[in-house]
Amino acid sequence: MTDYDLPPDYEHIYSGKVRDLFRTPDDRLLFVASDRISAYDWVLPSLIPDKGKVLTQLSLWWFHQLEDIAPSHVTTAAPPPSVRDRAMVCERLDMFPVECVVRGYLAGSGLADYRATQKICGLGLPPGLKDGSRLPKPIFTPATKAEIGEHDVNITFDEVVTSIGQEEAQQLRRISLAIYERAEAIARNRGLILADTKFEIGLGQRGKHHGEYVLADEVLTPDSSRYWPADTWEPGHAQPSFDKQFVRDWLTSEESGWDKDSGDPPPPLPDRIVEQTRAKYVEAYERLTGERFS
Ligand code: PZK
């Protein structure tokens, strides 16, 4: 799973469903995006060729678009050759224990919370919103990581304040909303709706960014964000996922033979679904950046 043929002095620290973190010999972090793909809370037994490269290159492009809002954790050091295009050498930050989520549209856990309470993270919303509705304005909807394997838990802004302090909570909200606003406008001009997105932010520990709020992880990739095709957006039902819809449709089709509620692991994807899905990640990269993926 984390076999990237790295030099022996790179120490594996942690793996998420689709990304892996290593310590470099000089005590920085190597962030590696795999070709793994998740759906229905499973990591599928199929890889999507170039997915890690596409998402890493997209993330680097976004970090550049956001440089005037917040610095990123990415350093100029080159990753080892075996992971060159899918990895970033990053500075080690003191991470805030908060998932900084911004929503401009109603979906996912935000939709579930709205239906239950007409609120998200304690923020009241107007009545009558539907699945996929645009919100009156983007909202900061923080979450905490639950136990491993569990879903993030939405929390109120006051709970963030209690956890990390008033000044710090306000900074995370300010930075997150500013980034969403910038990114949503760029995506909209490229025919994509950025429905929601999640950031991880930390404080610089040394050097140029000492004491500064620094953007970490990967940013504004289809794995950390919900992108929808703008031309078919229609509130009132679940919007098709820009990147994973072929996967979801096949996994829930008769052909797959899989029941997502069975507890059984999902089967491998047919080659055509793998290829269609790869093409969607490449399309996301090319539409957003305006550059050919290579
Ligand atoms: C850090 N994660 C999440 C990332 C995973 C899990 N620059 C940083 N400094 C300190 N900690 C982190 C980062 C970053 N990025 C990020 N956990 C810790 C994560 C990658 C793979 F499995």
pLDDT, tens digit (0-9, with 9 covering 90-100), for 282-292: 999 999 999 99
**Distance from the CA of 8 to the center of ligand 1, in angstroms?**
20
Question: pLDDT at residue 148 above 80?
Answer: no
**Distance from the CA of 20 to the center of ligand 1, in angstroms?**
8
Q: What is the mean pLDDT of residues 264-293?
A: 98
- Residue 147's pLDDT band, with cuts at 50, 70 and 90, is confident
**Distance from the CA of 94 to the center of ligand 1, in angstroms?**
10
- Residue 165's pLDDT band, with cuts at 50, 70 and 90, is very high
Q: What is the pLDDT of residue 149?
A: 79
Q: What is the pLDDT of residue 220?
A: 98
Is the beta carbon of 93 within 6 A of some atom in ligand 1?
Answer: yes
Question: pLDDT at residue 261 above 90?
Answer: yes
Is the beta carbon of 82 within 6 A of some atom in ligand 1?
Answer: no
The string of pLDDT tens digits covering residues 95-136 is 999 999 999 999 999 999 999 999 999 999 999 999 999 999
CA-proximal residue: ligand 1, atom 16 (nearest): 217
- CB–CB of 4/35 below 8 Å? no
CA-proximal residue: ligand 1, atom 6 (nearest): 16
Q: What is the CA radius of gyration of the chain?
A: 19
**What pTM does this model have?**
0.98
Q: Which of 147, 146, 149, 148 is nearest to 42 (CA)?
A: 149
**Distance from the CA of 249 to the center of ligand 1, in angstroms?**
31
